[in-house]
């Protein structure tokens, strides 16, 4: 048992999860200058036309407002994906909205894209400027008040975020797979998703001198045929990559007592329970798209074996979030040492 395990079990679990997140993130930012002196672990990897310092990144959701990119990279992450950022700032869903299922090493969140909005985040990234270090991904989503059945309004909302944020991003991700914004997952239907991605692509090209890679993040709850449909669409429109997968609304096979799960309520489940399905989705995608499209494996990666399984299944890059919460700040380097050996 590590010192972090003791701290997590005896202290962190007694604190509201959202408050614990803010306290932990504040500590990481404070330690950033000291952590930055350490050598970046892992070997460089080429993907999306970019050179990543290593294969492991931090998934969107941890740094929603782009306030700790370099401190997080100093822990070992080769890329940091900020967001999800929406066209308009919004407070998200009522609290409490973040919960632990410790028996499953899982988290349930119904945050609802709480963030400062595209204008504020773009201004923050402009001040940071371009610099050596982690590859920066920017994840964009739908503002809650925009109706999902108004395609023109949806496209305009994503376009606003794209115009403001694409000039600062090394790659851009369209998030249509969070379960916590009403109607968002409806946008995963290819007939809605394809024109949205094409609109984002055109908008990004209008505001950047060099082409910014564009990816889409999908849910593990898609049926296999729908996963393959997204793969076919990605190839048809020249998408640069797919991130598989986001959180799940499923509660099957959990070790946590039913009463505890019911008390937590709705939201996206992340962590160990996603491992098998996220791996299966990745295999489906790689089998369909062939060797060239970039695939990012995320969801339930906790151990070195999990990471290796994802790479063996065809992932070019990996991301984590929930394991980082449960395993602590040494987790990125442990994973990278394990997959480099």
112 annotated binding-site participant: yes
300 annotated binding-site participant: yes
114 annotated binding-site participant: no
* Residue 143: CB atoms within 10 Å: 22
| Angstrom distance (rounded) from CA 76 to CA 28 | 12
| Angstrom distance (rounded) from CA 331 to CA 304 | 10
77 annotated binding-site participant: no
Q: Which residues of 193-209 are buried (b: 16+ CB within 10 A; e: fewer)?
A: bbebbebbbebbeeebe
Show Cβ contacts of residue 33 under 8 Å, excluding neighbours closer than 6 positions. Answer: none
Residue 60 backbone class (left: φ over 0; alpha: ψ -120 to 50; beta: rest): beta
Residue 299 backbone class (left: φ over 0; alpha: ψ -120 to 50; beta: rest): left
**Does residue 179 contact residue 219 with C-beta atoms inside 8 Å?**
yes
100 annotated binding-site participant: no
Closest CA to 233 of 207, 268, 198: 198
63 annotated binding-site participant: yes
186 annotated binding-site participant: no
83 annotated binding-site participant: no
For the question of residue 178 being annotated catalytic, the response is yes
Which run of H or E residues covers position 26? helix 17-35
**Does residue 181 contact residue 219 with C-beta atoms inside 8 Å?**
no
Alpha-carbon distances, residue 210 vs 136, 171, 279 (angstroms): 15, 11, 33
Alpha-carbon distances, residue 135 vs 28, 130, 272, 302, 318 (angstroms): 19, 10, 26, 22, 13
192 annotated binding-site participant: no
246 annotated binding-site participant: yes
321 annotated binding-site participant: yes
143 annotated binding-site participant: no
109 annotated binding-site participant: yes
Q: State the catalytic residue, choosing from 177, 178, 256, 278.
A: 178
Alpha-carbon distances, residue 188 vs 78, 179, 233 (angstroms): 28, 12, 11
60 annotated binding-site participant: yes
Show Cβ contacts of residue 247 under 8 Å, excluding neighbours closer than 6 positions. Answer: 109, 178, 179, 219, 220, 267, 268, 269, 270, 274, 299
Task: List the binding residues.
Answer: 60-64, 84, 109-113, 139, 175, 180, 217, 245-247, 271, 300, 321-322
Annotated binding-site residues for FMN read: 60-64, 84, 139, 175, 217, 245, 271, 300, 321-322
Active site residues: 178
Binding-site annotation, residues for substrate: 64, 109-113, 175, 180, 246-247
């Amino acid at each position: 048992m590590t010192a972090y395990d003791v701290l997590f079990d005896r202290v962190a679990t007694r604190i509201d999860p959202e408050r614990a997140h803010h306290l932990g993130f504040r500590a990481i930012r404070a330690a950033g200058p000291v952590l930055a002196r350490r050598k970046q672990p892992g070997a460089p990897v080429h993907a999306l036309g970019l050179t990543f310092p290593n294969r492991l990144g931090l998934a969107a959701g941890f740094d929603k407002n782009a306030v700790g990119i370099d401190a997080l990279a100093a822990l070992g992450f080769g890329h940091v994906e900020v967001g999800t950022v929406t066209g308009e700032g919004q407070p998200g869903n009522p609290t409490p909205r973040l919960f632990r299922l410790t028996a499953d090493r899982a988290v349930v969140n119904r945050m609802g894209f709480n963030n400062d909005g595209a204008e504020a985040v773009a201004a923050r990234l402009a001040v940071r400027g371009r610099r050596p270090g982690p590859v920066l991904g920017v994840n964009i989503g739908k503002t809650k008040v925009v109706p999902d059945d108004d395609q023109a309004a949806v496209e305009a909302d994503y376009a606003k975020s794209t115009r403001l944020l694409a000039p600062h991003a090394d790659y851009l991700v369209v998030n249509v797979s969070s379960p916590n914004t009403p109607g968002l997952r409806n946008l995963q239907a290819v007939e809605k998703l394809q024109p949205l991605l094409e609109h984002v692509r055109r908008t990004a090209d209008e505001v950047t001198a060099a082409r910014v890679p564009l990816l889409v993040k999908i849910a593990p709850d898609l049926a296999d045929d729908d996963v393959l449909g997204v793969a076919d669409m990605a190839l048809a429109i020249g998408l640069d990559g797919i991130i598989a997968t986001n959180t799940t609304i499923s509660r099957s096979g959990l070790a946590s007592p039913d009463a505890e799960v019911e008390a937590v309520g709705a939201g996206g489940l992340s962590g160990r329970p996603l491992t098998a399905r996220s791996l299966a989705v990745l295999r489906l995608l790689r089998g369909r798209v062939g060797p060239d499209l970039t695939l990012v494996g995320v969801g339930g990666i906790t151990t070195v074996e999990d990471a290796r399984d994802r790479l063996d299944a065809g992932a070019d890059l990996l991301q984590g979030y929930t394991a980082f919460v449960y395993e602590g700040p040494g987790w990125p380097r442990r994973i990278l040492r394990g997959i480099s050996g």
